[in-house]
Amino acid sequence: METYTVVTSTLCTLILPVILFFLTLKLWNLYCSSLRDWSCKAPLPPGTMGLPFFGETMQMLLNRKRFLEAKRRKYGRIYKTHLFGNPTVRVLGADNVRQILLGEHRLVSVRWPASVGTILGSRCLSNLHEAEHKEMKRVIMQAFSREAMETYVPLIEDEVRGAISSWLESDSSVLVYPAIKRLMFRIAMRILLGFETQEMENTLDQPLVDAFEEMIKNLFSLPIDIPFSGLYRGLRARNKIHAKIEETIKEKMVKVHRGAWKDALQLLIEHSLKGGKPVDLQAIKESATELLFGGHGTTASTATSLLTFLALHKEVLTKVRRELESNGLLCIKPKEQKYLTVDTVQKLDYIGCVLKETLRLNPPVPGGFRIALKTFTLNGYQIPKGWNVIYSIADTHSVADIFPNKEQFDPDRFLTPLPQDASRFNYIPFGGGVRTCVGKEFAKILLKIFIVELCRHCDWELVNGMPVMRNGPIASPADDLPTRFKPFNGVI
């Protein structure tokens, strides 16, 4: 009798939890299947929905690249999954992405995961809709006008040269990715928030850089706000950033603006005060935080990729220097160097091709989030109303048939302009549709200046060769890219 009791107890202890687990999993899958729109005859996309509540979020966060590659191989260019607490359809490929990006406000609308919305806030540009989005975009675009850009060029040159000088003075290798993040953060603080050089020296910008790093790292996390969770850490970091921005807002509100151009923060303040309304501090802080995030995080990622590809492809570096020489920009003596202008930078066609190819292979932002406003069909599958839709930038580039030898770094491919109808959705490093990146022209000018200054002042070598890339939420080298720099001797 005792033996029977022990066996029964053991079976209940070991087998019953397994049975309950599989039963729960079955019920979860039935529940997820019930979320389809039964009025639509098209089937749901293929795919799996993972574990109850958690879905497949943990698998993606822990090994994003391998997870997404396995999904794409198994299910193709449209598949269902469950991420960040929501049933989700992930799409890639120009034809599929075209329908999503052109369906804004009609088929889909922006909706980032709950953690992103909570951390960045509901009033930032990325989370605004229709008329509000259009108006805020118009306000911010003033900070990226042609006239404003002309004033930014010498400022950017000054900051980039200062950073490169410090790299050349280093006796050991430089961790390039953190160094470029600091550089791009300083540029963003000066241009977007209007900080003067002296203010930059006096303010504790490194703790702010660290706060941004913590915030970005935890943007995509489970929507659970408890101590030590990703969302909790992201919010704490965000609050530090908001505190500094609030100080700056209050300082600007008591100063009379006398500059020839207005930084983005000044424009946001004036827009908030329009019509005699009291200033909306929270909205301005959220918008300014988003601008700083976009203004230094994505440019730091791309600048690091540019430096990497030029180090690994010396023939491309040689072509860049020949273009600089033909435009009188290669002289390495500081007193004889031409100052750059927007016109000068825009005429550097080959450098533009290098930037395009870098963005093709390593787009800094992997994709975008939408929500289905109504049930619609995409390539034969139904996308039910209320489901999240993620469109992939990186994967769309990697499957684009208009690019031969897709894995090869070849800027020459862009020397011949691609047909606009063919390239419009095969190549989308800045997104597309009404939500195309608001600062893309500023980013192009900034990154071209970075290439010019880097190539005419120094040679460099990657300590570890081609880095392994972390791909979310912003592409970055896993080893922080240790690099040795030495002065360029002027010989091509």
Query: For residue 357, which amino acid is it?
Result: E
Backbone angles phi, psi at 483, to 5 degrees: -140, 140
Give the strand order in the sheet containing 78-83: 78-83, 86-91, 388-392, 367-372, 108-110
Nearest of 121, 63, 69 to residue 90 by alpha carbon: 69
Pair 320, 156: CB distance under 8 Å: no
Give the Å distances, CA to CA, from 467 to 150, 309, 478: 35, 10, 7
How crowded is the C-beta side of 338, counted as CA atoms within 13 Å? 15
Please tell me whether 437 is known to bind a ligand. Answer: yes
Pair 359, 415: CB distance under 8 Å: no
Angle at 389 between CA 383 and CA 393, to 5 degrees: 130
Report the alpha-carbon distance of residue 57 to residue 471 in Å, rounded.
15
Residues annotated in the binding site, as ranges? 437
Residues annotated in the binding site for heme, as ranges? 437
